Amino acid sequence: MNLLRGIGANGKMVVKNSIYSMLGSVLGQLVALLSSLAMGRLLGAGGLGSYTFAMTFSGLVFLFLNLGLSGIFQRNISQDRTSAEKNYANAMAIRFLFSMPMSLGIGIACVFVMGRQEDLWILLLACIYTGFTGIFGLAADGITAVEKFRVTFLFGMCQKLLCFITTLITLYVTKSMVIMLLFHDIVFLVLIIAELVYVNKSLCKVRLELDVSFCKKMLKESFPTIFGAAAEYLSLKSDTLILTLMLGEVATGLYSVSSNIYIAASFVPLAMARAATPTFNRMIANKEKVDHLVRKTFQAMAVSSVVLIIGIFVFARFGIVLLWGNDFEGASASLRILSLSLICMPANRFLGDMLVGLKQQVLVAKASVTGAIFNIVANIVLVPALGLNAVAVTTVITECIVMLMEGYFYKRIQKQK
């Protein structure tokens, strides 16, 4: 409580939300790690690499069609709850009627362009999965915007647990990624319906309705975030695509293990950022309180990141060999390198959310695009020379570049107030 002393009820709200956000993130990623472990054991490094490539590819397809709605959608509801009904109606309509169908069509076309027809059903179901993930996440963003973190925690855990159970059952019985992904899609569809029922009863009526003028305004505001989100995704996932194309599925499978552990660790400081973001949006007019909230949040994230980095350096090899087996030992070096970016990556997310709250999403896009360009070029140049560890090195440098740029932008804006 001392960490947030001075902001009263807002501090208590952030602490409470941080607990739910952190629990959801840590427990959810623990389940994701167990799923990765099951796939690695039952499918091997090559099979895990194929799954990782399919999910990364589908995410890339959907990313350019989600229209950057999430940040704007959450900000609008956080700052004016009476706008929830109109925001839900139009954002959901865009996702259901445009983003999802287009992502499937482009995904199928790209399968043939890449000459991977043998993976058609895997990639198609992965595109559906990613599309459902976007819709599920958008509905959750609206719930989070009104600071109902407990509800999003419960929905998130249900999704992770149900997908983990179906992973175990389908892979153990059939060893088929197609059947596994089919059941994952069914889980998402059921939970999306449950989310919308909850929102309809507790927040606003949910319907699909396109208000052309409102959609134009929303898309105009969110347009820069499309490039920012796309650039951020490419910075994080171009490594998977480049590794698969240059070194093959086994290298991708190894890197997938180190990446999953790194993501699991990052959820501790990221949970603090997510919990503080709605409070930041609500208090945005009070510079003194906002500055205090931001300073304390960054302090907490930095302390947790340092502790996590030390733990990863000490236990990386032992943990990977124990859980995934000796065949995955090569992932430990890249994990240690990746862990260094825990100092920068959570800070980037919080800085980006704050800039969006200040209606400066163009600046987020500039920083993200700069980072993505560097990341992709550096990976293409370094992977042939350094192999697996090259993508970890470029990730650390990329996160540092983006943090410095977003930090500069935020300080410049605050000085102008």
Summarised one tens digit per residue, pLDDT across range 318-337 is 888 887 888 888 889 999 99
Tell me what the mean pLDDT of segment 119-126 comes to: 82
> d(Cα 234, Cα 251) in Å, to the nearest integer?
18
Quickly list H helices, 174-248: 177-202, 212-247
Instruction: Using alpha carbons, select from 88, 87, 92 the residue that is nearest to residue 217.
Output: 87
341-368: b (≥16 Cβ within 10 Å) or e:
bbbbbbbbbbbbbbbbbbebbebbbbbb
pLDDT band at 22 (very low <50, low <70, confident <90, very high): low
As a whole number of angstroms, the distance between CA 85 and CA 90 comes to 9
Residue-level pLDDT at 16 = 65
CA 84 → CA 92, 100, 203, 229, distances in Å?
12, 22, 7, 23
Specify the DSSP class assigned to residue 329: T
Q: Are 306 and 268 in contact (CB under 8 A)?
A: no
Query: What stretches of 64-148 show up as alpha helix (H) in DSSP?
Result: 69-79, 84-94, 100-113, 120-145
Domain boundaries in the chain?
A: 2-416
3-class SS of residue 343: coil
For residue 80, give both structure tokens: 């004016």
| The pLDDT of residue 238 | 72
Q: Identify the residue whose tokens are 């906002």.
A: 290
* Residue range 206-230, pLDDT digits in tens: 777 778 888 777 777 776 666 666 6
